[in-house]
Amino acid sequence: MRMALDRAGLNPDAIDYLNAHAPSTYAGDLAEMKAIKKVFGSGAHVKVSSTKSLTGHGLSMSSIIEAAISVLSIDTGYCPGTAHLRDPDPEAEGIHLLFETEKTDPRYVLSNSSGFGGANVSLLFGKP
C-alpha cells in the first residue's frame, strides 16, 4: 500500500476507499488490518470493506474481480459494504469498516490482493 501511494505521489489521506483482500482467515485478516493501521493510522477516514463477501474467493481471478469493483466504485460513486459482517475482530478497532454500501463519491481507491507464496499487490485507481 505504501509503495502504491509513494509511486502515485499521494498521501494516505487521499485514499477514500480500500477494497481489502480479507479472505476471512484469521492470520491473513489480522496481518492486513495491522498493515492498514500502519499505513493509514488508527481512526483514519479511509473506508474499508471486502468484496469477497459478495463475490466469494475467485482464487486467481480475485485480484481482477476486486480491481474491477474498485474502478466501478469510482465510476458509480458507491463503495460496497462487507456482507454478513456482524462482529468484527477487536483488532479492527480504529478502521472505518463499511457494513453497508455507501454513496461516497471516492476519488482515489486502493485494491489489495495477496496470493500464495507472498505475492502481494496494492492497485491504486483514481479519477482523471
Bridge partners (DSSP) listed for residue 119: none
CATH number of the domain encompassing residue 112: 3.40.47.10
Structural domain count of the chain: 1
State which residues form the domain around 98: 2-126
Q: How confident is the model at residue 116 (pLDDT cuts 50, 70, 90)?
A: confident
pLDDT at 122: 96
The string of pLDDT tens digits covering residues 77-103 is 999 999 888 888 888 888 999 999 999
DSSP 61: G
pLDDT at 58: 66
Q: Where is 36: in which H helix or E strand? A: helix 26-40
Closest to 48 (Cα-Cα) out of 121, 4, 112: 112
The string of pLDDT tens digits covering residues 21-73 is 887 777 888 898 999 999 999 877 999 999 888 776 767 777 899 999 999 99
